[in-house]
Structure 1
């Protein structure tokens, strides 16, 4: 039995994006808005907002199982081709899944993304379509399976519209106290600019081990943004 068949039962609950705390935002230099007496100094702002971009009825994680969000349009564990483009039926070594989120800046200053990170969480609860019921999944946050997963899950983050590569590496490189640097900085213009599509492509390496079978791994992604002006 090859490695792919041995691990086909793997369930990955999600690399969660929506609801993340977009941190590290910096403020602009103060600007004088009046002359002489009654001077007023106002700081500009950078406000980042994130949401999954799949036309779903309710916001939730980009990567999710059918159990977590049974009415969602793009669970990764469906075996039929409706409506998701990937029909992997559960993660196995060598599988690749691509999902998209939208990121916008509603502040008054142009911003640039200079860092990205992933934060592991032990559980995630999704509110269902009726607005009352919920589904909860729990995930591994330590141990052999967790260590194997963060070494064997490859994450590529990009903005295809501008052909900008933000990050390309293993999940472990995104985990830590600070933010990992980006390959290329992506500018988010200030309000009222439109949102940008950010693509997350996750690949489970073919060498991933059997300790991953039946395990869930839950992560939030976060971005670090800085002002563009006077910040070369």
Structure 2
């Protein structure tokens, strides 16, 4: 599904990422590497193997698309005290030919300082062809590409049936990506005339508003 934003054409992919074909740039938000391990360490019972799924999914996506650049829109990591960071850095070394940029999110603050030596550009704001890439959505720029909100849309059927699906949403100035990682939670976006909303369902991107 293609979408024009900030004078650029992006492809919205069912993996919950955006792809800019002309520059071969992949935009990913809220990966939350090894969030599962963090919760298990703090006594919350979740499947032990679930924490590896996100990195496996990321690796498969990068191998399929072969980007020149990956821009992580914040919250790449979830915590700084687990093996997920080390596993990610090992993976990053395996794709050393790809430029990696991390726009720092609230969960990255501690870890970000230790990864700059791993050939990862760490910044609070990155300009992509006139579009300001940040973690937190903001209208302080002409165009803004962000994450953080974990947006989702609630679709209602007959009776009381409903389903909540992750979504991309766009206003005139701001675009927000859904979270890439598993077990990330969501924030339900209210449908208004000001938003274009695309949900992800059964490995497809569908315009719902």
TM beyond 0.5: no
TM-score (norm: length of structure 1): 0.29
Question: Of the two, which has the highest radius of gyration?
Answer: 1
> Between Structure 1 and Structure 2, which shows a larger proportion of helix residues?
2
Larger relative contact order (Cα-Cα within 8 Å, sequence gap ≥ 6): 1
TM-score (norm: length of structure 2): 0.31
